[in-house]
């Protein structure tokens, strides 16, 4: 049976980790290496590291930093932010990333998904989809860390990235990000039930029951979270214990 994954998300804004609400990430929450060492001890299944300013600043990923993180990280590591080309993906994999997340570049050049999947394999290509309601009340995908509307609908874009070879989708509700009010069940349900690749739920986790609800009501196979682990006493290990009691298969050492 496929085990449910608990995946802390690390948002990096040089020189530290940050967290906020609805992608307004202003509150500094510590250093990257310190966080990685803590999560090593807390039995997380994977880590997602996103450099949230690299794309807007039009710079490449910080390969030296990723190399340092990978040396300390004892679980699979997904890296995103500033990825614009196949060469960027290759370099990240070379310095220790296990998967690479692409977002804005995939929207600007969808063929990048095809090329990356063909060269490196779908298993290491994650497409990140950030969405919120637009001025007309319709759900829309936004690029550049939630700043630029794209005219793409989350469900349709998810279907396309799957066809192009993405191995996973990281689906984030911008409006629920950092609010601790629970996941967007309706959108996650629609997307996860209509694609054949794993969908990682992101945006809104406030407690373990929020995780149980999204798993029991949708077909998501992994849960990404940040604020719940930064600002409450709740931990990834305890989350997995809770889900195990609810009947879900999880990895507990």
Asked if residue 222 has pLDDT above 80, the reply is yes
The yes-or-no verdict on residue 242 having pLDDT over 90 is yes
Residue 37 pLDDT level (bands cut at 50, 70, 90): very high
Which two three-digit tokens encode residue 156? Answer: 């349709």
DSSP 213-228: HHHHHS---EEEESHH
Q: Output the pLDDT for position 1.
A: 61
Question: For residue 49, what pLDDT is reported?
Answer: 97
**What domains, with CATH codes, occur in the chain?**
5-245 (3.20.20.70)
Do residues 32 and 49 lie in contact, with contact meaning Cβ atoms separated by under 8 Å?
Answer: yes
Instruction: Express each pLDDT in 169-211 by its tens digit.
Output: 999 999 999 999 999 999 999 999 999 999 999 999 999 999 9
- Token pair of 44 as six digits: 């997380």
pLDDT at 253: 77
pTM for this prediction: 0.96
**Residue 14's pLDDT is what?**
87
- pLDDT greater than 90 at residue 230: no
User: How far is Cα 181 from Cα 168, in angstroms, rounded to an integer?
Assistant: 24
Measured CA to CA, the distance from residue 89 to residue 106 in angstroms comes to: 12
Span 38-62, pLDDT tens digits: 999 888 999 999 999 999 999 999 9
Alpha-carbon span 157 to 162, nearest angstrom: 9
User: Does residue 128 carry a pLDDT above 90?
Assistant: yes
> What integer best gives the mean pLDDT of the chain?
95
pLDDT of 122 > 80? The answer is yes
Cβ–Cβ < 8 Å for 199, 229: no
Lowest mean pLDDT among 32-46, 84-98, 115-129, 205-219: 32-46
């Amino acid at each position: 049976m496929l085990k449910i994954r608990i995946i802390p998300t690390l948002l990096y804004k040089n020189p530290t980790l940050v967290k906020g609400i609805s992608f307004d990430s202003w509150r500094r929450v510590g250093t990257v290496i310190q966080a990685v060492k803590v999560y090593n001890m807390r039995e997380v299944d994977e880590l997602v590291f996103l450099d949230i300013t690299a794309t807007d600043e039009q710079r490449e990923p910080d390969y030296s930093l990723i190399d340092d993180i990978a040396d300390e990280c004892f679980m699979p590591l997904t890296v995103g932010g500033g990825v614009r080309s196949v060469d960027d993906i290759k370099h990240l994999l070379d310095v220790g990333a296990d998967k690479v997340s692409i977002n804005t570049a995939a929207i600007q050049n969808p063929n990048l998904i095809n090329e990356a999947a063909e060269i490196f394999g779908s298993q290491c290509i994650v497409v990140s989809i950030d969405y919120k309601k637009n001025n007309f009340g319709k759900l829309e995908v936004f690029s550049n860390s939630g700043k630029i509307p794209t005219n793409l609908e989350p469900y349709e874009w998810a279907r396309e990235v799957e066809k192009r070879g993405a191995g996973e989708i990281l689906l984030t509700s911008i409006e629920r990000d950092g609010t601790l009010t629970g996941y967007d069940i309706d959108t996650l349900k629609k997307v996860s039930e209509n694609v054949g690749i794993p969908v990682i739920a992101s945006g809104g986790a406030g407690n373990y029951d929020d995780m149980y609800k999204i798993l029991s009501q949708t077909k998501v196979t992994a849960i990404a979270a940040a604020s719940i682990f930064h600002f409450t006493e709740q931990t990834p290990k305890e989350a997995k214990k809770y889900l195990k009691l609810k009947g879900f298969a999880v990895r507990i050492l």
